[in-house]
Amino acid sequence: MGEYFMVVLLDDYRMSKIRGTGLEENIKYMFGGELRLLEVKVNEELKDKILQEFDTARVDSRGAITDVPVAFMRELFNQVVEKKSLGPEVVEAVLAKVDEIKKAAEKESEYLPPPEIE
Amino acid sequence: MSRFLIQRPLPHGGRLVERVVTDKEAAKKMIRGCPSYDIKPTLHYETGVPVRNVYREIMSICYGFFSPVEGSMKQAEVERILKERRLLNEWIFPYPLVFDISEEDYKQLGVGPGDRLVLNLKGKPFAILDIEEVWRIDNPEELAHLTFGTPERNPEVVREPFNKKHPGWVIYRSLQPVVLAGKYTIINEPKFRPPFDRFWYPPRKSREEFDRRGWRTVINHQTRNVPHVGHEFLMKCAAFTGDVEPCHGILVNAVIGVKRRGDYPDEAIVEGHEAVNKGGYIKPERHLPTIVLWDMRYGNPLESLLHGIIRQNMGCTHHMFGRDHAAVGEYYDKWATQILWTKGIPSYGFPAPPTDVPYGLDIRPQNMREFSYCPTCKEMAYSETCGHKREKLSGSFLRGMVAEGVQPPAIIMRPEVYKVIVKWWKHFGYPFCNEKYVVNKEKELEVDLEDL
């Protein structure tokens, strides 16, 4: 059974949501510490489910699952915060909303909600 | 004066082509009694999606970006370009440029050599075409192949046969069969809409602006992208070339034209580059973002030749070229442009670089590799000097981050640039060009016209 993961990028807004969840110690860094990210674990079964549900999804050479809809990635972050976890139950919870995500993904080619920045 | 000082080159061909009539009364007289034709976009030969609008070529020709080209090319000129990449007056030029119409439109117009045709844009008179020759494109697919090359004919740099996945090939494949050849003259100057208006520096104006700023040496940065910090370092460091001192100016010249889905909107591209100097990352006194109208052909070395011509005409002394310059897919060797500018590509008619052949260019190439972040040096580092393992800055990684609404760290993308992306994201409801943007852009274009 292979080990897979999904990357959750963290900007300042997301960092504020992560604070106090106990996940801070799992944060990884790129670009001299400027880019923060979390890696959510994905088991074989969930990986297959993701690839089956989203035809754009792929697994890269590191074992990272990429190219899923933005709606999926946003829900992934929401579930990390809600579950306060990086375990497979996070992706399970995301996949429980697969119909909702697919509906949002259909509209993604027309509209993506812009971030609120000053 | 030091003998090492580099002077601004003359325009390609020796003089700037300027074919714009600004006197409205004179313009009215010029078109009195002439037949007229509404400019139509070139539509993809299979899907019907707009892939080109000839108005952009007319603008770039008449304002001198493409000097010494003066109009739609005759058959002999196109044939010479395809064989030797030279105009009939000997000066080098990479691409056929034609005014093409359908057989039905041709029959309906009933025009021929010696006639003056008024070209309307958005329902208003825009330009005239003084027809000198009418000829036909018998085989657009062959024209498309001859324009870009094949692995057999151009083994030095062409790696894969061109096909309908290549947007430049599609433009030539989609041309209409009847070519009206002759000189263009703009008789009703279009007005650029914001934000494009403040970036419009046609060659005469750009040369005057360089004089005003005291720029003797200017290096050009070609772009069709929102700048990340890798681009910024490329610009800053390439500018250290020059003569006895670094280049006085960095000209950013964004190619504005038909878009592909997934590109950043043109509005975000030009304002993103402006944000680099507004944020002080490159002093505004040394940095000038501008535009040129052109539906990219993505011809890598051939496109770089056109870029050299455009920027020499704008008054640049240097031009930076990187990996996969103006390329899509893997049709060309990823260093094809740098091969052209360092040793030439004989099969395209260049046994020597375009700066070293008769009737060639005077602009100096600055062939660059890549900048990426080095965690050891803790700075953006040049691939050819940094000996550490670096973290590559990939456009798709950045785009994925942007699409997710995550602000990239300032070491990758300046916050001022990101704010511009979000500004236009809010405007269009999408951070990149989607189908709606592409279709609307080709309806609205970049300009409006007043009544003549």
pLDDT per residue over B333-362, tens digit each? 999 999 999 999 999 999 999 999 999 999
B288-294 average pLDDT score: 98
**A96/B contact by beta carbon, under 8 A:** no
Three-state DSSP at B283 gives: coil
Pairing of strands B364-367, B318-321: parallel
- Taking CA atoms, B293 is separated from A72, B257, B359, in Å, by 38, 6, 25
Q: Is residue A82 part of a domain?
A: yes
The verdict on B179 and B242 lying in the same domain is no
> Can you tell me which residue has the tokens 């056109």?
B306
The candidate with the shortest Cα–Cα distance to B311, out of B320, B324, B301, is B320
Kindly write down the DSSP assignment for every residue of B131-178, as one continuous string. EEEEEE-S-HHHHHHHHH--TTT-TTTB-S---TTSHHHHHHHT--SE
The verdict on residue B9 lying in a domain is no
Please give the distance of CA B120 from its chain centroid, rounded to a whole number.
Answer: 23
Residue of A nearest to B396 (CA): A67
Residue A61 in contact with partner chain B when CB distance is under 8 A? no
CA–CA separation, B186 and B125 (whole Å): 9
Residue B209: which H helix or E strand, with range? helix B203-213
Q: Is A15 on the interface with B (CB under 8 A)?
A: no
Average pLDDT of the residues of chain A: 90
Average pLDDT value over all residues in chain B: 96
What is the total count of domains within chain A? 1
Kindly provide the ipTM of the predicted complex, given to two decimals: 0.81
Residues B70 and B139 placed together within one structural domain of the fold? yes
Residue B409 has pLDDT above 50, yes or no: yes
| Alpha-carbon span A70 to A106, nearest angstrom | 11
Beta bridge partners of A40: A6
One domain, residues B308 and B375: yes
Which residues does B195 contact at the CB level (< 8 Å), separation at least 6? B267, B270, B271
Please give the pLDDT value at position B396.
Answer: 66
Whole-number Cα distances in Å, A9 to A13, A103, B29, B400: 11, 23, 63, 10
Query: In percent, how much of chain B has pLDDT > 90?
Result: 90
Same domain, B301 and B164: no
Q: Which residues contact B355 (CB under 8 A, 6 or more apart)?
A: B341, B361, B362, B363, B364, B365
Q: How far apart are CA B358 and CA B318, in angstroms?
A: 19
Q: Is A34 on the interface with B (CB under 8 A)?
A: yes
What is the reported pLDDT for A13? 86
Confidence band, pLDDT 50/70/90 cuts, at residue A63 = confident
A33 inside domain = yes
Q: What are the φ/ψ torsions at residue B255 (nearest 5 degrees)?
A: -85, 115
Q: Name every residue whose Cβ is closer than 8 Å to that of residue A25 and which is 6 or more positions away in sequence.
A: none
- Say if residue B146 is in the same domain as residue B293: no
CB pairs under 8 A between A and B: 64
For residue B406, what pLDDT is reported? 83
Amino acid at B118: V
Same domain for B32 and B102? yes
Smallest CA-to-CA distance from B245 within B221, B268, B215, B210 is with B215
Chain B residues touching A14 at Cβ < 8 A: 406
Q: Do B404 and A9 touch (CB under 8 A)?
A: yes
CATH number at residue B313: 3.40.50.620
Same domain, B183 and B219: no
B100 falls within a domain: yes
CATH number at residue B32: 3.10.400.10
Q: Are residues A115 and B403, on separate chains, in Cβ contact within 8 Å?
A: no
Q: Best interface-test mutation with B: which of A31, A37, A58 has the largest number of B CBs within 10 A?
A: A31
Question: In which residue are the tokens 């052949």 written?
Answer: B357
Domain boundary among B162, B192, B222: B192
Beta bridge partners of B253: B222, B290
Look at residue A118 and tell me if it is in a domain: no
Query: Is the residue at B5 inside a domain?
Result: no
Residue matched to tokens 């910024």: B232
Record the tokens describing residue B99, joined without a space. Answer: 């005014």
Residues B161 and B246 in one domain: no
Domain boundary among the residues B192, B210, B240 is at B192
Regarding whether B202 and B182 lie in a shared domain, the answer is no
DSSP for B351-376, please give it.
SS-TTSSTT---PEEEE---EEEETT
* CA nearest neighbour of B304 among B365, B374, B390: B365
pLDDT at A1: 47
Q: Binning pLDDT at 50, 70 and 90, where does residue A64 land?
A: confident
Are the C-beta atoms of residues B268 and B399 closer than 8 Å to each other?
no
Amino acid at B107: K
Residue A90: burial class (beta carbons within 10 Å; 0-12, 13-18, 19+)? buried
**Helices A98-108 and A70-83: crossing angle, nearest 10°?**
140
Q: Is residue B254 in some structural domain?
A: yes
| Contact present, B363 and B317 (Cβ < 8 Å) | yes
CA distance linking residue B425 with residue B317, whole number of Å: 36
Cα atoms in the 13 Å half-sphere on the side-chain side of B314 = 34
Distance from CA of A14 to the nearest CA of B (A): 8
Return the H-helix or E-strand segment holding B109. helix B103-109
Domain that holds residue A103: 4-108
Asked if B434 and B251 touch (Cβ cutoff 8 Å), the reply is: no
Instruction: Read off the pLDDT of residues B201-256 as tens digits, 9 standing for 90 and up.
Output: 999 999 999 999 999 999 999 999 999 999 999 999 999 999 999 999 999 999 99
Total structural domains in chain B? 2
pLDDT band at A118; cut points 50, 70, 90? low
Q: Are A6 and A65 in contact (CB under 8 A)?
A: yes
Kindly state the average pLDDT of the residues B421-442. 93
Q: Which of the residue ranges A8-12, A29-33, A112-116, B98-102 has the most confident prediction, judged by mean pLDDT? A: B98-102
Q: Is residue B452 part of a domain?
A: no
Q: How far apart are CA A73 and CA A88, in angstroms?
A: 15
H runs (alpha helix) in B279-380: 301-314, 336-342
Q: Using N-to-C axis directions, what is the helix angle for A70-83 and A88-95, rounded to 10°?
A: 130
B193 in contact with A, Cβ within 8 Å: no
Structure tokens at A78: 């929401």
Query: What is the rounded distance in angstroms from the CA atom of residue B344 to the CA atom of residue B331?
Result: 18
Instruction: Tell me what the mean pLDDT of segment B318-330 comes to.
Output: 91
Please give the full DSSP string across A26-77, using - where no structure is assigned. G-EEETTTTEEEEEEEE-HHHHHHHHHH-TT-EE-TTSBEE---HHHHHHHH
Q: What is the pLDDT of residues B23-68, one digit of tens each?
A: 999 999 999 999 999 999 999 999 999 999 999 999 999 999 999 9
Residue B138 maps to a domain = yes
Which residues of A are less than 8 Å from B439 in CB distance?
Answer: none
How far is the C-alpha of B349 from the C-alpha of B344, rounded, in Å? 8
Both B247 and B363 in one domain: the answer is yes
Smallest Cβ–Cβ distance between A112 and the set B419, B431, B436 belongs to: B431
Smallest Cα–Cα separation from B304: which of B260, B258, B253? B253
Note whether B260 and B345 are same-domain residues. yes
Residue B128 Cα distances to B109, B180, B265, angstroms: 14, 12, 31
Flag whether B372 is in a domain. yes
Residue B2 is assigned to a structural domain of this protein: no
> Same domain for B316 and B429?
yes
**CB-based contact B37:B105 (threshold 8 Å):** yes
Domain of residue B156: give its range: 24-192
Instruction: Report how far residue B235's alpha carbon sits from residue B252's, in angstroms, rounded to the nearest whole number.
Output: 9
Q: What's at B340, amino acid-wise?
A: L
Domain boundary at B192, B222, B237, which?
Answer: B192
- Of residues B136 and A110, the one with the higher pLDDT is B136
Backbone angles phi, psi at B417, to 5 degrees: -70, -40
Instruction: Give the angle subtended at the CA of B76 by the CAs of B71 and B166, to the nearest 5°.
Output: 70
